[in-house]
Structure 1
């Protein structure tokens, strides 16, 4: 439950050209089947592997690595790459420097940007695949019919985290659509309560308020049209969502320090009841969990999904949720890397989720009693959720950064949409998408 992926788009176009313009689909996926998946604890005393992780994810596999080493004799070195992590990985991979394993965002855009078919091992028919929550698998990890990533935890869900005590005090109920939520927000504002907290000083979360509004049209194929250049960020739906977000800001529905507010400020404000709601992903609960105990979270914090005309949640896996295995031209190491993933999602999984205090995604492994109810509730919405821009679009432009500029007052809503579309088109063209 760490900070999610920050968009790194136009600055990575050169890297994308190296990894994707040369056809990220070049090369053949290795065969898959039972012969490709050794037992979780097969002896690996003479094997040494390297695993890349971000600053936000380096501690996640640490104990699993130690347990795996004890069980098999293998040695795995976790190397923390500098932020922006995704760009650091892409740059290294483009020059031929690859690890054996890496934490990675398992979305369409990020698997594409890494040149999955060329650089990553295929994880089809893995022994853990049939045991993994199907709603989780549906949120990502596959590209062009092959699985290239293994989820180790439930993907983040985009929605609204709210202070239950504030709602009760002001006599408001959980809304059934975005307009109802705005009505509630205006009622709260009139009562002297800050409706929403936005962390404009750290712009990476600014996109969530826009993306949740697109959930219904995303289910209807919005991103498919954008991918074919048949719809745009300047089109009615996306531009309209940006305009609504801008109006919310101008109407004073957010915190007065929106331009400087931080992720930590947001968590504290919601937990303390200074703000009633925050449109965020799962990492916000993790921040609040670091500040208090589960009993307090269960008493104060709730979650509800929201979309323009209903309650459709938006899923957005980040690089803390999944691991990939690289092709290394060393069959022994490649097999060992797959064995490590198998161990993580079998023998090592119960201990892993207990340490992480998170929801289990493996059938037969029970979610710890200490997991906050809001996290369980948010995870339950995956069943009817739709993928985010990062999950369904073929490229990931700087929507968040451009919206951050809008919050700062340096871009208009029209400029946000126009510049994001321009960036998307550049990225789409760089990976050889048709229609651009």
Structure 2
């Protein structure tokens, strides 16, 4: 899941959220013919059987077996923790996988690619059209420089699902209180004003975990352009925390608290508290990610739906995890074939029809209206190069820095200016450590 991403771009290796899809066989190299005569494909991932990706990848395995008679697929479902600390060692051993699901970001796929442990997939991405199926913002997490920094250089992974932040809303509460679903930022604040006038806090929030930082980032992104995102996330240029859009994000966040859009009591709440408040019908809205979608679909009794953060071109979000092929893989050609199958329309539709967010699905093939809207909104963001990753991604340990900062803004113990100071120094120090500048 995406959330406010402790794992992110330059986070420490200990935060690796790895997964592995593996394949074994004969000697491997870089072309699709390498390892194509292998007789075993060893595949690891950590998705549950009933998840959208688990269902889709089971079907992909079935198709692979049909199209590769004589090849044995050895699948192992690995726990997150099994490879969290030892991913590099695992894939560099004789027991390691040939293809695996692995987390994106500088500290994970980027780190292993810089160590020479992942196969360069650039030729295959071009040959098989993956570079055409994935938007430029989705490709950011697939490509890494020789230093392991995402966004440039060669392909070392291929994502086939995505995630993004949106506004979930309780349609019954909107109807009961005569509130219209907003399509602009001004309409959004007017809707919240109407709830406040009726004694209802419009947004459930959680200051003790990632949601508050997501709201701050969404507000900042309302004044952002791609240059800001690249500067903040990819270190293209220095970032001024005392200027917009970050200044606007912090000041507007504080203003929303003062207006009663966000309760001061939410400073001590966690994401689960926010989610259950929405599920139980106590809150009209939350601002959070697509990872909540399946749970709301299963547990919400009230009528609900979602919309993109009004007025924003950019949204927190990214690709999902990557398929990567370890350098040690002996069945590289088979691994490439399997990745290609996961990008096919029928597999992408399976992801979408089971509550996931496929990266290359035809929305007309998605049958459930809510699923369809989830995908259409993601496609809108992705097609306009609007995925802005997550606010804690840039530097190690930044998750805790942001949680502390915006918890202080909710409870009123710090001003926006003080919070911006508090989050600027760790960012600047972290970027300097990574880039040497």
TM category (shorter chain) comes to 0.7 to 0.9
Match among 426, 431, 435 for residue 428 of structure 1: 431
Deviations 1:225-263 (A, max 9, x none): 442443233444213312322332344322464134343
Equivalent residues of 1:200, 1:404 under 8 A apart: yes
- 1:140 and 1:5 mapped to 2: Cα distance? 16
Within a 5 Å distance, the mapping from 1:221-232 to structure 2 comes to: 221-226=227-232, 227-232=235-240
Equivalent residues of 1:313, 1:381 under 8 A apart: no
Equivalent residues of 1:164, 1:302 under 8 A apart: no
For the residue of structure 2 that corresponds to 1:199, the secondary structure is coil
Within a 5 Å distance, the mapping from 1:108-123 to structure 2 comes to: 111-115=109-113, 118-123=116-121
Within a 5 Å distance, the mapping from 1:96-111 to structure 2 comes to: 99-106=97-104, 111=109
For the residue of structure 2 that corresponds to 1:182, the secondary structure is helix
Equivalent residues of 2:4, 2:390 under 8 A apart: no
Q: 1:384 — aligned with what?
A: 384
Q: 2:205 — aligned with what?
A: 198
Deviations 1:306-356 (A, max 9, x none): 3xxx332415125xx2323133334x2333322321232239716742673
Q: 2:19 — aligned with what?
A: none
Root-mean-square deviation (Å):
4.1
Equivalent residues of 1:194, 1:254 under 8 A apart: yes
Deviation at 1:414, TM superposition (A): 4.3
Matched, 1:345 2:343: yes
TM-score w.r.t. structure 2 length?
A: 0.74
- 1:416 and 1:68 mapped to 2: Cα distance? 52
Q: 1:213 — aligned with what?
A: 219
Deviation at 1:75, TM superposition (A): 0.9
- 1:163 and 1:44 mapped to 2: Cα distance? 52
- 2:277 and 2:244 mapped to 1: Cα distance? 34
Q: 2:166 — aligned with what?
A: 159
Q: 2:368 — aligned with what?
A: 370
Deviations 1:267-310 (A, max 9, x none): 34334442122111211222201215xxx78x42231333xxx3
Q: 1:22 — aligned with what?
A: none
Equivalent residues of 1:204, 1:401 under 8 A apart: no
Matched, 1:63 2:63: no
CA separation of 1:394 and 1:170: change in aligned 2, threshold 3 A: closer
Matched, 1:267 2:275: yes
- 2:284 and 2:304 mapped to 1: Cα distance? 11
Equivalent residues of 2:221, 2:245 under 8 A apart: no
- 2:9 and 2:152 mapped to 1: Cα distance? 24
Deviation at 1:162, TM superposition (A): 1.8
- 2:117 and 2:369 mapped to 1: Cα distance? 36
- 1:10 and 1:139 mapped to 2: Cα distance? 11
CA separation of 1:208 and 1:231: change in aligned 2, threshold 3 A: same
Q: 1:233 — aligned with what?
A: 241
For the residue of structure 2 that corresponds to 1:198, the secondary structure is coil
For the residue of structure 2 that corresponds to 1:119, the secondary structure is coil
Matched, 1:316 2:317: yes
Q: 1:141 — aligned with what?
A: 142
Deviation at 1:197, TM superposition (A): 0.7
Q: 1:418 — aligned with what?
A: 421
Deviation at 1:209, TM superposition (A): 0.8
For the residue of structure 2 that corresponds to 1:160, the secondary structure is strand
Q: 1:81 — aligned with what?
A: 80
Within a 5 Å distance, the mapping from 1:147-186 to structure 2 comes to: 147-153=155-161, 155-178=162-185, 180-186=187-193
Q: State the aligned residue count.
A: 397
Deviation at 1:74, TM superposition (A): 2.0
Deviation at 1:388, TM superposition (A): 1.7
Over 6 Å off, 4+ runs = 54-59
For the residue of structure 2 that corresponds to 1:161, the secondary structure is strand
Deviation at 1:404, TM superposition (A): 2.4
CA separation of 1:354 and 1:162: change in aligned 2, threshold 3 A: closer
Matched, 1:280 2:288: yes
Q: 1:19 — aligned with what?
A: none
- 2:129 and 2:102 mapped to 1: Cα distance? 18
For the residue of structure 1 that corresponds to 2:100, the secondary structure is strand
Q: 2:146 — aligned with what?
A: none
Structure 2 alignment gaps of length 5 or more: 16-28, 144-150
CA separation of 1:12 and 1:133: change in aligned 2, threshold 3 A: closer
CA separation of 1:302 and 1:395: change in aligned 2, threshold 3 A: closer
- 1:207 and 1:346 mapped to 2: Cα distance? 35
- 1:13 and 1:359 mapped to 2: Cα distance? 27
